[in-house]
Amino acid sequence: MGAAYNYYRGNNSLIHLAVLFAAAFSSLQIVHSKLSPHYYSSSCSQAPSIVQSVVVAAIQKEARIGASLLRLHFHDCFVNGCDGSILLNDTDKFIGEQTANPNNNSIRGFHVVDDIKAQLEKACPGVVSCADILAIAARDSVVYLGGPSWTVPLGRRDSTTANRSAANTFIPAPTLNLTALISSFSAQGLALKDLVALSGSHTIGQARCTSFRGRIYNDSNIDASFARSLKRNCPMSGNDNELERLDIQTPTHFDNFYFENLVASKGLLHSDQELFNGSSTSADCLVKKYACDPHAFFKDFARAMVKMGNIKPLTGTQGQIRLHCSRVN
Ligand code: HEM
Ligand SMILES: *[C@@H]1O[C@H](CO)[C@@H](O)[C@H](O)[C@H]1NC(C)=O
Ligand SMILES: *[C@@H]1O[C@H](CO)[C@@H](O)[C@H](O)[C@H]1NC(C)=O
Ligand SMILES: *[C@@H]1O[C@H](CO)[C@@H](O)[C@H](O)[C@H]1NC(C)=O
Ligand SMILES: *[C@@H]1O[C@H](CO)[C@@H](O)[C@H](O)[C@H]1NC(C)=O
Ligand SMILES: *[C@@H]1O[C@H](CO)[C@@H](O)[C@H](O)[C@H]1NC(C)=O
Ligand SMILES: *[C@@H]1O[C@H](CO)[C@@H](O)[C@H](O)[C@H]1NC(C)=O
């Protein structure tokens, strides 16, 4: 009996060893091909706290900057992956992404990224990528403004080029309908649930008149008094850069009111309101769920942010660690 027991136990141990070995081997492969939350734990353990302290100081100075930093990460990831390409200034070799239509006169937060990078270069020269700075700063902004937290996988490297026409092609426009929004996200490996959850980012930040003029003058699925009040600062022509809150209720608090607004036909962008038309579509059901259940929104948002942050990162020997985020080394 004892021998048999030992025999079986021995056999089980062998199986366990094999399983452990396979698991260790596949996780090694993950370390080589994908990102890891512990990427900087020996090379720059202070990195997360440095990023956080600059982000918090920037938001304390100007609440909107948290929204701007979140958007920077999104606009980076949708254009050839999360590789810091949006941060590059134009050069003789390429026209960068900052003047692409979705970014021109609208994308902001570069000075905060530059501050973070300068502090990181002092603490750990040449170690932390600009693409990772964007991913951590996005998370820290959401947390500071009252949203969910999540563990940020790290180890992205920075691109050596940028492409304005790719930014025009891949960053979705606010004029898109639901079908086109789904395609845009699906092209990045993101599902309808990710689209709806990530659109909840519009619970913070602002948009220019030029981004919602079509919505307030041409759309019929808009609350009449909401449209009327928006027309005051956003005439049929002119005042293109006049700003309005994306979430009319709490524009500097990361909550689920964005979804309440959609149910009330008070989405600011045409693309926002496309997610809810009261016909019990799959998108409608997600919007209603998130409007009623902030925890479900927070959970799905955090997961979708990690998914978005994993879009085509440069790893290993690809790209470089830029010393200045706005230019290649
Ligand atoms: C679903 C497709 C999306 C469209 C069509 C869209 C479009 C826009 C537009 C037009 C603006 C206002 C820009 C301006 O007028 O200056 C804006 C702002 C913003 N977007 Fe989106 N967006 C989308 C998804 C996302 C996602 C996925 C995120 C983040 C994960 C995001 C984060 C933000 C934030 C935080 C702002 C406010 C930025 C600020 O105040 O500086 N958006 N978006
Ligand atoms: C960016 O905006 C500026 C200022 O409005 C404008 O002069 C320029 O033509 C725009 N660039 C592009 C590429 O649209
Ligand atoms: C830039 O992006 C456009 C649109 O995706 C693509 O057609 C073009 O080949 C890219 N240019 C370079 C130099 O990669
Ligand atoms: C959505 O927009 C696309 C591109 O503009 C258009 O071809 C399509 O007919 C639209 N779909 C719906 C359902 O309106
Ligand atoms: C409103 O719709 C009309 C007709 O389709 C179009 O010509 C106009 O450009 C639209 N206005 C805005 C601000 O989108
Ligand atoms: C709502 O959107 C769905 C999907 O795009 C569409 O099939 C349906 O006809 C729309 N309902 C209304 C009332 O516009
Ligand atoms: C990139 O452009 C910005 C704005 O024009 C400027 O402040 C910054 O110094 C530039 N970066 C480099 C490395 O030249």
Within its chain, how far is the Cα of 192 from the centroid? 15
Is 11 a residue whose pLDDT tops 90?
no
Provide the angle, in degrees to the nearest 10, between the axes of the packed helices 130-144 and 47-61. 50
Q: Which residues pair with residue 245 across a beta bridge? A: 206
- Give the mean pLDDT of 133-156: 98
CA angle in degrees (0–180, nearest 5) for 68-167-94: 110
Residue 203 clears pLDDT 80, i.e. is over it = yes
Cβ(299)–Cβ(197) below 8 Å: no
Phi-psi map region of 226: left, alpha, beta (phi>0 left; psi -120 to 50 alpha): alpha
CA dist 143 and 296 (Å) reads 16
Q: Looking at residue 148, what is its pLDDT? A: 98
Beta strands in the chain, from DSSP E residues, in sequence order: 206-208, 243-245
Q: Strand, coil or helix: what is 242?
A: coil
Q: Is the dihedral of CA 85, 86, 89, 93 positive or negative?
A: positive
41 lines ligand 2 (CB under 6 A): no
Quick count: other Cβ atoms within 10 Å of Cβ 189? 12
Pick the more confident residue, 30 or 74: 74
φ/ψ bin of 162: left (φ > 0), alpha (ψ from -120 to 50), beta (otherwise): beta
Q: What are phi and psi of 144, to 5 degrees?
A: -65, -30
Mean pLDDT computed over 269-279: 97
User: Which burial class, exposed, middle or buried, applies to 208 when counting CB atoms under 10 A from its CB (0-12, 13-18, 19+)?
Assistant: middle
Q: Please state, as a whole number, how many other Cβ atoms lie within 10 Å of the Cβ of residue 237.
A: 8
Q: Is the pLDDT of residue 317 over 80?
A: yes
The type of residue at 198 is L
Q: Tell me, using a 6 A CB cutoff, whether residue 74 lines ligand 1.
A: yes
Active site residues: 75
β-bridge mates for residue 327, sequence order: 324
Q: Is 235 in the pocket of ligand 5 (CB under 6 A)?
A: no
**Ligand 6 environment, Cβ below 6 A:** 178, 277, 279, 281
Check pLDDT > 80 for residue 100.
yes
Report the pLDDT averaged over residues 274-295: 97
pLDDT at 34: 84
State the chain's mean pLDDT as an integer.
92
Q: Which residues pair with 36 in a beta bridge?
A: 154
153 Cα–ligand 7 center, Å: 28
Query: What SS3 string covers 189-235?
Result: CCCHHHHHHHHHHHHCCEEEHHHHHHHHHHCCCCCHHHHHHHHCCCC
Q: What was the pLDDT predicted at 157?
A: 98
Ligand 7 within 6 A of CB of 13? no
Cα 99 to ligand 2 centre (Å): 7
User: pTM for the complete prediction?
Assistant: 0.92
**Which residues, listed in sequence order, are joined to residue 154 by a DSSP beta bridge?**
36
Q: Is the pLDDT of residue 1 over 60?
A: no
Query: Does the pLDDT of residue 24 top 80, yes or no?
Result: no
Residue 25: its pLDDT value, please?
Answer: 40
The protein residue whose alpha carbon is closest to atom 2 in ligand 6 is 277
Ligand 3 site residues, Cβ closer than 6 angstroms? 163, 165-166, 169
Which residues' Cβ are closer than 6 Å to ligand 4? 177, 179-180
Which residues on adjacent β-strands are paired with residue 314?
A: 157
28 band by pLDDT with thresholds 50, 70 and 90: very low
Q: pLDDT tens for residues 52-93?
A: 999 999 999 999 999 999 999 999 999 999 999 999 999 999
